Amino acid sequence: MPLFSESGAPSAFTTIPFADWQSRTDWPAVSLANTDPVEDLASHVGRLRLIELHFPKFSDGRAYSQARLLRGRLGYRGELRATGNVLRDQLPFLLRCGFDSFESDQPGFDEALASARSLFSVVYQATEDGRVPASRLRLGADATV
Amino acid sequence: MPDTHFYRYDDYDRTLVRERIAQFRDQVRRRLAGELTEEQFKPLRLTNGLYLQLHAYMLRIAIPYGTLSSRQLRKLADIARRYDRGYGHFTTRQNLQLNWIRLEDAPDALAALAEVDMHAMQTSGNCIRNVTADHFAGAAADEIEDPRIWCEIVRQWSTLHPEFSFLPRKFKIAITGSPNDRAAVRVHDIGLRLWRNPEGRVGFEVIVGGGLGRTPMIGKTLREFLPREELLAYLEATLRVYNRYGRRDNLYKARIKILVHEIGAEKMRAEVEAEYAAVRDGALRLPAATIEAIAAQFAPPALPHRPAIAAEVERLRLEDRAFALWLRSNTAPHRLAGYRIVTASLKPAGAPPGDASAAQMDGVADIADAFSQGEVRVSHEQNLVFPHVAVDDLPEVHRALGRLGFAEANVGKIGDIIACPGLDYCALANARSIPVAQRISGHFAELARQHDIGDLKIKISGCINACGHHHVGHIGILGVDKNGVELYQISLGGDVDFGRTAIGTILGPAIEADRVVGAVDSLVATYLERRTDGERFVDTYRRVGAQPFKERVYAAV
Ligand code: HEM
Ligand code: SF4
């Protein structure tokens, strides 16, 4: 399936399933089912280069929570890829939760990705993309998240 | 809208709504051009309030916390006229449904809504839905704090929340600021009740896992007292636990009430508290300045001093029976002497509950401008409310409502029936609801009799989804389908009042449509024979049990 990345070429690492990765945690790329416990990656996030999170159906939103925990709580900075049923209309949500690469066979996905960040110039929540929510902007220009 | 006494959009809010419409306009264009399949388009339209119903598209417009300015109400009338058939339907979730919208027109209808700072975002779909509140908020004599401040904070936090837009199932939050619950908080996914603790601090009791539908449940208190500034941290924690661990294998088991039920309230509490501990000191803690700025917008209107007792009202109370009854059932105590809260009954005898024509909406807006600070509320009981009416003006308001057909003195009585759209509009229905409500209210049209019967809540749903809240009706009526025949199952003893919340118990076998009125009549007769002084229907039922009611109803069958 075609790969798309916001930041140049997507990582060329091959991921291995979480169960396999657990017996060789030195491998830098892992793929998680949306029921796998992201917390178990806590002491490895500095070494990991690519994590894949899975959307078996676009309507199954568990991976959004996994992504936010990886980025926000565990401080993962490597590539975070959405796989499975990934649709262009999800992009604003995916980007806000910290995904930066995507597997999708939907036509028009790359154009959608190029414009997804400018679709909404206002956000209401502080999430993993560093955007300042309206509630903070209202408190003054120098407000930080 | 400079003179409203509730939240006014600023440029941030307006921009967001405008950008959302632009996005949806493009999605509609792609659907009409065949670039999106119906399956792909469905979740996109649903989170913009657009359903596909039996006959046409239906637009469900959010009325956050049930609060409307007269200008907004006039715009709703205008939209109903321009894009629909000139009427709308107020629902139990403080929404307005328009039943005959063309897909091509939907973005324009949303743009018209945006002109008055309204939207239809998240009125459907598996996301956090329109937040509901006590319809007497900011006016009620028994209120501790205006819940709408918190509803608005939740509205913003939940709107396009990137993590919680694809939940296992829809998610409903209700907030009350009064000890007398008018928002049914124990039957919501999350119910919040503001109260003052013994130290004098105001905070939330957090109730999780209530809900109606196929498996009705009363929510569990996960937290007795939550500091107000930590509301979003606690909500985010709860939603994250639900998003990660809620069941998705079965549509009917996907609500948070099932998760709470399966793992137990203790485990649920432990999970939520652990997550809460991790997020409470972060960006979700509400700065005092944010709370103050939003609270300031809900500052009560400066109501001029008016006499607490008005001569004309006293005269009419003695001389005009209709007025006296109306005063008793359709007005409620205001926090200020000299004022009352007035409920316009959208339940004239024999009419479809909750319907209003565009002309009636305009008429209500006029009354609000003249007599209620330009403000109107939508109640979950499908009525409209004027929050601030001077006692002095009550006779005038009564006459004006009479001209609109909304002065029926039946609020809280047997004629004030809640009914879902049922088979007349809903693709999921098993049976009709509206005609059943019409027949019952027609049968009990006589107001003196309704007042003699006293408080009695009848709630009707056309199927097990329980949109008409039948589980919590004193008398609940549920449409069921048996081999293509529409039958009705009756339950008794449901209640949403705080501390008394109960799910009704099924009385016996379902009955045919033409027997429903007779059955209700038998229930009422049984009650009248057995009640003690001042006892409500539901209290008599609790005291004497189902047997006498059952015997009487089924004796006739
Ligand atoms: C006309 C189209 C409608 C459709 C297709 C629809 C669909 C549904 C469904 C499927 C459920 C069950 C959800 C569940 O238990 O998981 C439900 C519940 C509910 N709906 Fe509707 N509904 C409609 C209209 C309405 C209207 C008009 C109202 C208000 C009058 C309403 C208010 C509610 C309420 C209060 C519940 C119960 C909430 C709970 O289970 O906690 N719905 N609806
Ligand atoms: S209760 Fe059933 S019939 Fe009534 S509106 Fe809800 S889904 Fe439709």
> pLDDT tens digit string along A58-102?
999 999 999 999 999 999 999 999 999 999 999 999 999 999 999
Residue B554 has pLDDT above 80, yes or no: yes
* Chain B contact for A42 (CB, 8 A cutoff): no
pLDDT, tens digit, for every residue of B450-489? 999 999 999 999 999 999 999 999 999 999 999 999 999 9
Buried b (16+ CB within 10 A) or exposed e, B344-361: bbbbbbebbbbbbbbebb
Average pLDDT over residues B5-21: 97
Ligand nearest to the CA of B91: 1
Q: CB count, 10 Å around CB of B198?
A: 6
Nearest alpha carbon, ligand 2 atom 6? B467
Residue B502 has pLDDT above 50, yes or no: yes
CA distances from residue B328 to B179, B344, B447 in whole angstroms, order as listed: 21, 13, 12
CA distances from residue A31 to A18, A54, A80, A90, A95 in whole angstroms, order as listed: 6, 8, 10, 20, 18
- Please name the helix (run of DSSP H) or strand (run of DSSP E) that holds residue B546, with its range, or none: none
- Per the CB < 8 A criterion, the answer to whether A11 and A79 are in contact is yes
The residues with which A80 forms a beta bridge, in sequence order, are: A51
For residue A55, the chain B residue with the least C-alpha distance is: B166
Q: Give the separation between CA B74 and CA B84, rounded to whole angstroms.
A: 14
From chain B residues 360-379, the ones with a CB under 8 A of any chain A CB are none
Question: Binning pLDDT at 50, 70 and 90, where does residue B137 land?
Answer: very high
Q: Give the separation between CA B409 and CA B383, rounded to whole angstroms.
A: 12
Q: Residue A83 corresponds to which amino acid?
A: T
Judged by average pLDDT, the poorest of B46-50, B236-240, B340-344 is: B46-50
Question: Binning pLDDT at 50, 70 and 90, where does residue B1 land?
Answer: very low
Q: Give the separation between CA B123 and CA B106, rounded to whole angstroms.
A: 14
Average pLDDT over residues B397-413: 98
Q: CB count, 10 Å around CB of B306?
A: 15
* Residues of chain B contacting A68 with CB distance shorter than 8 Å: 163
Q: Give the separation between CA B411 and CA B430, rounded to whole angstroms.
A: 28
pLDDT, tens digit, for every residue of B138-153? 999 999 999 999 999 9
Strands (E), A10-145: 16-17, 29-32, 50-55, 79-84, 101-103
From chain B residues 248-267, the ones with a CB under 8 A of any chain A CB are 248
Tokens 């001093």, residue located: B305
Q: Give the separation between CA B76 and CA B85, rounded to whole angstroms.
A: 12
Strand B202-208 relative to strand B505-506: parallel, antiparallel, unpaired? unpaired
CA distances from residue A26 to A32, A45, A82, A102, B488 in whole angstroms, order as listed: 16, 11, 22, 24, 64
Residue B543 is encoded by which pair of tokens? 């005291």
- Please name the helix (run of DSSP H) or strand (run of DSSP E) that holds residue B324, with its range, or none: helix B321-330
- Per the CB < 8 A criterion, the answer to whether B191 and B210 are in contact is yes
Q: Sign of the C-alpha dihedral, residues B162, B42, A102, A54?
A: positive
Is the CB of B421 inside a 6 Å radius of any atom of ligand 1? yes
Q: Which of B42, B163, B284 to mutate: most A Cβ within 10 Å?
A: B163
pLDDT, tens digit, for every residue of B266-295? 999 999 999 999 999 999 999 999 999 999
Residue B118 is encoded by which pair of tokens? 């309204």
CA distances from residue B30 to A103, B42, B44, B239, B355 in whole angstroms, order as listed: 22, 12, 11, 32, 34
Question: Binning pLDDT at 50, 70 and 90, where does residue B258 land?
Answer: very high
H helices then E strands: how many in chain B?
18, 21
Average pLDDT over residues B6-24: 97
Strand B173-176 relative to strand B190-196: parallel, antiparallel, unpaired? parallel
Instruction: Choose the residue to mutate in B55, B461, B471, B472 for probing ligand 2, maximizing ligand atoms within 8 Å of C-beta.
Output: B461
Query: Which pLDDT belongs to residue B40?
Result: 85
Quote the minimal CA–CA distance from A134 to chain B in Å: 6
Average pLDDT over residues A30-40: 97
Q: Give the separation between CA A20 and CA B174, rounded to whole angstroms.
A: 45
Q: Which of A55, A89, A91 to mutate: most B Cβ within 10 Å?
A: A89
pLDDT over 90, % of chain B: 93
Question: Binning pLDDT at 50, 70 and 90, where does residue A142 land?
Answer: low
Query: Which pLDDT belongs to residue B3?
Result: 65
Contact call for B166 and A89, based on CB within 8 A: no
Quote the minimal CA–CA distance from B335 to chain A in Å: 31
Q: Give the separation between CA B435 and CA B437, rounded to whole angstroms.
A: 5
Q: Give the separation between CA B302 and CA B318, rounded to whole angstroms.
A: 32
Query: Which pLDDT belongs to residue B556?
Result: 62
pLDDT averaged over chain B? Answer: 95
Residues 6+ away with beta carbon under 8 Å from B236: B157, B275, B279, B284
CA distances from residue B207 to B172, B186, B187, B223 in whole angstroms, order as listed: 12, 7, 9, 7
Residue A75 is encoded by which pair of tokens? 């401080």
Quote the minimal CA–CA distance from B58 to chain A in Å: 22
| Order of strands across the sheet that contains A16-17 | A3-5, A101-103, A79-84, A50-55, A29-32, A16-17
Higher pLDDT pick, B383 / A7 = B383
The residues with which B145 forms a beta bridge, in sequence order, are: none
Query: Which pLDDT belongs to residue A141?
Result: 58
pLDDT over 70, % of chain B: 99
Question: Binning pLDDT at 50, 70 and 90, where does residue B2 land?
Answer: very low
Strands (E), A56-134: 79-84, 101-103
Instruction: Choose the residue to mutate in B207, B217, B382, B420 for probing ligand 1, maximizing ligand atoms within 8 Å of C-beta.
Output: B420
| B314 SS3 class | helix
Residues 6+ away with beta carbon under 8 Å from B191: B173, B174, B175, B176, B183, B184, B185, B206, B207, B208, B210, B219
Chain centroid, CA B41 distance in Å? 28
For residue B242, the chain A residue with the least C-alpha distance is: A62
Is the CB of B211 inside a 6 Å radius of any atom of ligand 1? yes
* Chain A contact for B33 (CB, 8 A cutoff): no
Query: Which pLDDT belongs to residue B268?
Result: 98
Query: Which pLDDT belongs to residue B332?
Result: 98
Query: Which pLDDT belongs to residue B93?
Result: 87
CA distances from residue B11 to A134, B16, B440 in whole angstroms, order as listed: 10, 8, 48
Contact call for A64 and B166, based on CB within 8 A: yes
Q: Residue B210 corresponds to which amino acid?
A: G
Angle at CA of residue A125, ends A119 and A126, nearest 5°: 105
